[in-house]
Structure 1
């Protein structure tokens, strides 16, 4: 059995290797400025931060360290959202990787954790929608410049995640006990075939059930709903098995349109970690 940090790194590598994942980088397709090898390098760079979490370090410090390492490659933001899910999961794996334990890890976060989360934005550009007017002083894009306001208001990292729902489904995982993450792990365990194919199938199933919040924030809710409806149609007719070319066409179309369901990919990466830790899948 590998260590939690090693399994988290492996989950990042397996996620990007799965194909086809419509609109996302995978081993068969790149985006214009973001390539497969950038994700491989990002996963390698994140290892020190993941080790920090596995060794019992504070969640915020571990996350900032992971992001700083991830950002060492030339592609920019590869796995920010995935790491925001993986760090508390890795921390929980020290005790028991279950919903209640991960919830407790998130509930125990502090103002210092929130400050380190903001500092992580100093390392890499992350797409974030404009905040409401009353949240502008706490716009995460301000990075470390927003820390004094954060500290003045006494907000923990879980407080920040709570304020990001419903517009961010990575934050929603923090608030709702990583429900989709654990469901994705169960789906991976129940699926058949090579792990890359299973990852693609779980990605498509998750996309078919819930509009991707990154797509909604970048391209609008109508586009996010359209993408989900089309994914649902492909899942309904088991297209990955019966008509794989249709899924490939969908994948290429989303890339061409610049529609990137990145939040769904983050859920898939987190699900892979849980499945690896539970020894429900192996490599």
Structure 2
């Protein structure tokens, strides 16, 4: 079979495929996958969300509209088709990645270099405006999103205010990247930072690292996605788990994931991997059979590492743009 140059593929198709591959990967402990529904979320809802988000993804990959407009449109379409919040965080990462894929190209065409890199994404986030921030806040009116309380000195910037926060954003002249910076560096050292926000202000290091794990791995992309998910969770506590439970629960969940990457369980002498030891070899050796038991335990305990799933989706998009293939 003749290989297809990934640079010639429609980036919106790759973004849509990334959304579908992420939810189809299994097991991803605590998250919906093709074998598991949650009480309030079903696998098919995520399929609908991926289809509904396409108009926003197309806007992100064009030379029309802003990053904030594209994100808001994507969330609106997702919510309309899925009937709930399925991929809010995924879209927050995919939109700037899509824009970076086409940035600098005439008429919004895909760059001839085809090499999506952190510098390109960083330029996109640095060029966001106050208007983008306002659109981001409006998107919170479309769906319920679990978020932690804002820092004490940023109460008026609570995203749960939705469009009511627009005057504060304009008064402070805060761009969307500025808003992300507030969540990326919380003032409380015990608080788990917003990993998606950190991607926005740090140049997407987790996304690109996990994309290389996926590219260098073998087997179906859905299995590679599941292993990358475990690696991301083992490396850093999940923001949604910390917001829904507490930071200690999030850290314990990461340690339990790390035990599947090469460390022993609680009764062993080796212990779980240190986060600094989470590398491609550890990720590729993840025990997906053992992860099935952890998936059941996390669902029973209400532990849902949703931010880790967002990062996995973004990594799948980058991996696809860099040559990863389905069934090849």
TM-score range normalised by the length of the shorter chain: over 0.9
Task: Report runs of 4+ in structure 1 exceeding 2 Å deviation.
Answer: 237-246, 280-283
> CA–CA distance in 2 between the matches of 1:169 and 1:103?
16
Are 1:222 and 2:248 matched, yes or no? Answer: yes
- Residue 12 of structure 1 aligns to a residue in which SS? helix
Secondary structure of the corresponding residue to residue 71 of structure 1: helix
Offset at 1:16? 0.2
Q: Structure 2 vs 1, CA of residues 121 and 239 (structure 1 numbering), >3 Å: closer, same or farther?
A: closer
- Tell me the SS of whatever aligns to 2:39: coil
Alpha-carbon distance in 2 for matches of 1:279, 1:252:
33
Q: Which runs of 5+ in 2 are unaligned?
A: 1-7, 104-114, 186-192, 264-281
Which residue number corresponds to residue 5 of structure 2? none
Aligned mate of 1:55, from 47, 57, 62? 62
Query: Who is 1:146 aligned against?
Result: 165
Distance 1:243 1:150, change over 3 A: closer
CA contact (8 A) 1:34 1:75 kept: no
Task: Choose 229-238 or 257-266, whichever is displaced more.
Answer: 229-238
Q: Secondary structure at the match of 2:259?
A: helix
Q: Which digits, 9 at most, give the CA deviation of each residue in 1:135-167, with x for residues without a partner?
A: 111110010111111111110000000001132
Residues 241/132 of structure 1: CA separation in 2 closer, same or farther (3 Å cut): closer
Task: State how far apart, in whole Å, the 1-side matches of 2:171 and 2:138 are.
Answer: 16
* 1:94 and 2:102 aligned: yes
Coordinate RMSD, CA, aligned? 1.6
How far is the alpha carbon of 1:277 from its aligned partner? 1.1
Measure the CA separation in 2 of the matches of 1:31 and 1:77. 13
The aligned residue for residue 66 of structure 1 is: 74
1:168 to 173, 176, 194: 194
Confirm or deny: 8 A CA contact 2:60 2:67 kept in the other structure. Answer: yes
Q: How many residues align?
A: 283
In 2, are the aligned partners of 1:188 and 1:281 still within 8 Å (CA)? no
1:280 shift after superposition: 3.1
Q: Highest Rg: 1 or 2?
A: 2
Contact 1:60 1:113 in 2 (8 A): yes
Partner of 1:270: 314
1:247 aligns with 2:291: yes
**What does the per-residue CA deviation read over 1:93-146, in whole Å, with 9 as the maximum and x for residues that have no partner?**
004521101000000000011110011111111011111232111110010111
Cα distance in 1 between the residues matched to 2:30 and 2:173: 38
**Is 239-248 or 105-114 further displaced after alignment?**
239-248
